[in-house]
Structure 1
Amino acid sequence: MTATMRITFVLPVFSRLPSGGFRVVYEYANRLARRGHRVTVVHEQWYEGWHRPVKHLYEIARDRWHDRRPGGLAEWLRWMPIDDAVRMTMVAKLDPARLPEADVVVATYWTTARLLRRSSPAQGRPVHLVQGYEIWGVDDPTEVDDVLRSDLPKVVVSDHLAGVLHGLGVPSDRISIVHNGLDHSAYRPPAQDGPRGTSVSILVGTGPQKGSAVAVAALERVRDRHPDLVVNAFGPEKRPALLPDWVRYSRARNGREQASRAYRASAVHLCGSVQEGWGFPVAEAMACGTAVVSTRNGGVEDFCVDGRNSLLVDVGDADGMAEALLRLLHDPDLRGRLVEEGLHTASSMSWDDAAESFLRALESAAAGS
């Protein structure tokens, strides 16, 4: 039987909106706590900045209020349930001295991994959970590379990211690959799945790494051929200005429910990302019985095979996306084959298996091996 461990996860902020990377951390926290381990998740308080003084002070006050009230942060996290055994905490500023004593401490972003290089042995053996090549919005990407090259053991969520680390010179014995799981209670085909018509789902984000502007351009080309096209767009933010009026948009503040509705209402899901560490929306769409068109963005290529369970196009290729979408909308037999293979692919994604592999990686780190 595995000995009980004290495990700390360090998150750079408390995310009020759904986020795939944060979801992975909370998923592991829940599952490890249910196995009897003592799990703490530490978040840094949000700082808007004095360029917006009213919002800056409001956010600080709100964070402090939620952190101190009964139920605290777990109750405030409305887009994902947190097990009662998980201790959710917030600190004014992330600093190694503010972390609790533990057997292992898990960095979840490059800045938190840099922080752990100054932690003491009492705060646990450090591990870096790598969920993406996190250079977006970073003034000097070489800082990220330096952190990734550090001697902290790495747990990566995809073979693609393992390849990125190898390219930076990180040796294989410092890397564990643990593929993400999938919540099959939330992402599944409709009980009675009928024709889905000329319809496409898409996750829209404002960050350049999501490639939303190119994806919308592809959808406009498809609509030129099919004025009846229905686009079921969703995202965690307010309706982005880049969306045309004819696109339906749902602000998926509760995460899984609204996203899964968009997938199940659509014949095809489009992913236009420039770069993904893994690619939750594509896996979720497959699990909902939706055919997939995606860019070759790295992470999805761990489980997407062009022509077998998806159609893949080059990053930034709006014409290629439109052509692939039209191909699937015009060819129900091809779409049906991709759907069946996609369901088979998604069925192998298990959070139980992922948690077991992740725990083994943490045990290895705690033992110093």
Structure 2
Amino acid sequence: MNILLVTPFQLTDVGGVSTAVVSLMREFEKRGHRTSVLVPGEGHGMRRRVDGCGRTVHAMYLRPPYCPAAVLRGLVGFCLFFGLTLWQLARLVRRERIDVVAVQYPLPWVFYFAVLRCVSSFQLVVTYQGSDAHDLSRWSPIDRQLVGFLLARADSVTAVSQSLLDEVAAAFPRLRLAHTRLISNGAPFDLIPAADGSHAPPAAVAGDYVLFVGHLVHRKGLDVVLDALRFAHEQGCRLHLVVAGDGPERPALERQAAGAGLADHVHFAGNQAHPAIFDLYRGCLFFVLASRAEGRPLVIAEAMACGKAVVATKVDGIPEMVEDGRSGLLVDPDDPCALADAMIRLCRDAELRDAIGRRGQAVAEREYAWNGIATRYLEVFREVRAR
């Protein structure tokens, strides 16, 4: 099978979607399927390269018809380049003999593949990962119509959690989604043995630490974690917190930590490569994520794969991953007191912490290995091709 993965993120970006795309490429290639990826580019011409890992990457700017900052100019540019863009995509599909176009994280500009689907023989599979579904209500009517057109032409719509499928269905009540499937993201188990401890936590960490991994945006709820950490300190549980990730909220979060008297116990490590991340997972006491909205966060699967207990919020796809009291502890979002209680409980009860970690690891090995996830995608691809 010849597969084209389409994503709005570069393969080198830090984040769950890029990790998912890279992992799927690797698994598909292992099974003899020729796989390439299309990412956003700066020019209107199609550019092809083979990266340092041997992956075929195509890059091109897919101009949307609507630009809020310059409506008329954007429309004129779209009309001028629409035919050329479509022709170049059609040539790519034809030259690479693409059987399946698999869109990971559909944004409005991907509608070009819906147009091509009307006149081509490839199958179109669209996958929702998180914010691509959460943010639909904030999009302009034109952007929603473009994505609706894409979904109407899709041969299958998948998502990493049922809650995301429900959000998409609610955003397009008149649209019957085709051949829906749930396929979670996974954890890169092959990278865990390579975590040899050479990437130590920040030197200032002088005791047990809790780990947060994620983009520093409001949706991830790190501000709630900081409030919970302050409450835990007030009750004598003086944990350190290591924050692996970066983002626009970092300055405000650093000020919050300093204002709460936590500057010596909160360590912002910035974005980290996977080997360093897995060293941090393996060295932490437990993992915490207080998201306000999520799909199925890859970081939870990674923490569970490393045998670490997880404290997380009961939102969207997280309860589909974590069974409260068995493979993790779940609390309501925006409730720092409840989060602090859960953190204190795991801090003080090593037996519970280890038992939850073992059960979570068993779940991860069963549900979140990328070879099994790739198998589920390939089953969907074969099903839609057989129609």
TM-score (norm 2): 0.76
RMSD: 3.1
CA distance 1:206–1:232, shift in 2 (3 Å) = closer
**Alignment match, 2:115:** 118
Gap change, CA 1:96 and 1:276, over 3 Å in 2: farther
1:98 corresponds, among 77, 88, 91, to 88
C-alpha distance after superposition, 1:280-304 (max 9, x if no partner): 1112112222211100121221120
Q: How does 1:215-364 map to 2 (within 5 A)?
A: 215-226=225-236, 228-237=238-247, 240-241=250-251, 242-243=253-254, 244=257, 245-246=263-264, 247-254=266-273, 256-348=274-366, 349-364=368-383
Task: Give the Å deviation of 1:119.
Answer: 1.8
The amino acid of 1:185's aligned partner reads D
Tell me if 1:182 matches 2:187: yes
What is the total number of aligned residue pairs between the two structures? 332
Q: Name the aligned partner's letter for residue 377 of structure 2.
A: F
Indicate if the aligned counterparts of 2:17 and 2:105 stay in contact, CA closer than 8 A.
no
| Contact 2:8 2:40 (8 Å CA) reproduced | yes
- Would you say the 8 A contact 2:216–2:248 is kept in 1? no
Matched-pair contact (CA < 8 Å) for 1:239–1:249: no
1:208 match? 218
Comparing 10-19 with 350-359, greater Cα deviation is found at 10-19
Deviates more, 1:33-42 or 1:262-271: 33-42
One-letter identity of the residue aligned with 1:150? A
Determine if contact 1:197/1:267 at 8 Å carries over to the other structure: no
Given that 1:250 and 1:258 are in contact with CA atoms closer than 8 Å, whether structure 2 keeps it comes out as: no
Contact 1:272 1:294 in 2 (8 A): yes
Partner of 1:161: 164
Q: Name the residue aligned to 2:56.
A: 87
C-alpha displacement of 1:191: 8.6
Choose which of 33, 42, 45 in structure 2 pairs with 1:37: 33
Deviates more, 1:118-127 or 1:98-107: 118-127
CA contact (8 A) 2:228 2:337 kept: yes
Distance in 2, matches of 1:189 and 1:326, equals 31
Answer with 337-346 or 107-116: which moved more: 107-116
In 1, Cα distance between equivalents of 2:9 and 2:374? 23
Aligned to 1:147: 147
CA drift of 1:171 comes to 5.0
Deviation (angstroms), 1:331 = 1.7
Q: CA deviation at 1:257?
A: 1.5
Deviations 1:182-226 (A, max 9, x none): 21132469899xxx9642111242322211212222122222334
The question of 1:108 aligning with 2:107 is answered no
Q: Counterpart of 2:260?
A: none
Q: Counterparts of 2:284 and 2:36 in 1: how far apart (Å)?
A: 39
- Once the two structures are TM-superposed, the CA of residue 240 in structure 1 deviates from its matched residue by 1.9
The unaligned stretches of length 5 or more in structure 1 are: 47-59, 76-81
State whether residues 10 and 43 of structure 1, in contact with CA within 8 Å, keep that contact through their aligned partners in structure 2.
yes
Q: Partner amino acid for 1:218?
A: A
Q: Rate the CA distance shift 1:239–1:12 in 2: closer, same or farther, 3 A.
A: closer
Distance 2:140 2:340 in 1: 33
Rounded to whole Å, the distance in 2 between the matches of 1:171 and 1:188 is: 44
Among residues 127, 130, 142, which one is paired with 1:129 in the alignment? 127
Give how far 1:150 is off: 2.8
**Residues 175 and 239 of structure 1: CA distance in aligned 2, closer, same or farther (over 3 Å):** closer
Greater helix fraction, Structure 1 or Structure 2: 2
* Counterpart residue identity of residue 258, structure 1: A
8 Å CA contact 1:201–1:262 kept in 2: the answer is yes
| Partner Cα separation in structure 2 for residue 199 and residue 314 of structure 1 | 23
1:13/1:45 Cα in 2 relative to 1: closer, same or farther (>3 Å)?
Answer: farther
